[in-house]
Copies of this chain bind each other. A is one copy, B any other.
Amino acid sequence: MSVTAAQGFTAAGIAAGIKQNGNPDLALVVNTGPRHAAAGVFTSNRVKAAPVLWSEQVLKGGAVTAVVLNSGGANACTGPQGFQDTHATAEKAAELLGHSAGEIAVASTGLIGTLLPMDKLLPGLDTAAAQLDTDGGEKAAIAIKTTDTVHKTAVHRGDGWTVGGMAKGAGMLAPGLATMLVVLTTDADLDSATLDRALRDATRTTFDRVDSDGCMSTNDTVLLLASGSSGTTPGYEDFAAGVRTVCDDLARMLIGDAEGASKDIRIEVIGAATEADAVEVGRSIARNNLLKCAIHGEDPNWGRVLSAIGTTGAAFDPDRLNVAINGVWVCKNGSFGEDRDLVDMRYREVGITADLSAGSESAVIWTNDLTADYVHENSAYSS
């Protein structure tokens, strides 16, 4: 499944020795055509990793024949040498595959601020190229894991066409944009402009609304590659819905595997004057550490939700705010409502509904609780 669920793609995932523990760390995804149309969205962090700077240029051409992805190092904040290393990676893949380096995207993930061991990575590419297979998607998905406990893949079957995808990401999940590495593939026969539109439509309401810990990565990359090998050109709405389904599935998996999390929190803001207001309020709630701790403690502390709403510029009257936690309206008209003891918080998924009573727009943001395990995992990340 994964990126090889669609026809016209091969993939491989191997252990090149970039990670010191010997786990798989290098993935290669190749579009065997006949088309090589592609679209991409990247982090909006102004500090961008070398592979992001490279791949952004590649995507301007609208064609990608292969993607090289490595875990075990982000190649971010590595200066001119870091960029040269990304370039050398693309050149090596181009040579192995007989394509131009200008159509090879590169993505990296791992620790910021250290150079990649190119003496491991480049020979690893030989191995990966030799193992390319139409069944290799699963191995590729495994090779891009960092602190992920599971690899993440999704597939959507359309009428004569398929979208498949893989993702990695378990921390540093925040908006604008993806905060993860994602490769989506399709055998639909579409041009890069259509792919770009469908990808942006999908990420705007999926990856862009996942906000696990408010931190934005330097390496976020989401690519959509189309081989055209099904010979089918789906209608735009059908195709966009398929891409959105795959993105939604992968985004949900990212939240479900976020570092140290014990709760997945679905924040739905309703009654907003505008969608932008709903998103702003949802993000503010999602980033409130005190609320995230309270949810971890299974404490329906709705006062934290109101405090978070109050820091936004959204249209609302404090005396008309309503908040439900797992369906119990614990806050009505800005004050206490139904009995908070009625709220059952035993399960992993927690639903918070914030009603601004200011209009009819809405948005959903996903986040996680804040736990001692998150602290432990990120206290010792680089050591």
Contacts and interface: CB of A to CB of B under 8 A. Distances in A.
Interface of A: 45-48, 74, 76-79, 82, 111-114, 171-172, 176, 213-218, 287-290, 293-294, 296-297, 299, 301-304, 306-312, 316, 318-319, 321, 331, 333-336, 370-372, 374-383
A112 B372 contact: no
A353 to B, nearest CB: 16
Contacts of A378: 289-290, 293-294, 297
B218 A301 contact: no
Contacts of A377: 293
Given A78-B335, A336-B77, A307 B383 contact: no
Given A218-B307, A307-B47, A334 B383 contact: no
A284 B192 CA distance: 36
Contact of A216 (B310, B371, B381): B310
Contact of A307 (B45, B302, B376): B45
B335 A82 contact: yes
Contacts of A316: 46
Nearest to A218: B307
Chain B CB within 10 A, most for which of A79, A214, A336, A376: A336
25 contacts: A45-B307, A45-B311, A46-B310, A46-B311, A47-B309, A47-B310, A47-B321, A77-B302, A77-B303, A77-B334, A77-B335, A112-B307, A113-B335, A114-B336, A171-B290, A176-B311, A213-B289, A216-B307, A289-B374, A290-B378, A293-B381, A297-B379, A299-B379, A299-B383, A370-B375
For the complex of A and B, the 7 pairs showing the least CB-CB separation, nearest first, are: A112-B303, A297-B379, A47-B310, A79-B335, A293-B378, A372-B372, A45-B310
Contacts of A215: 288-290, 304, 307-308
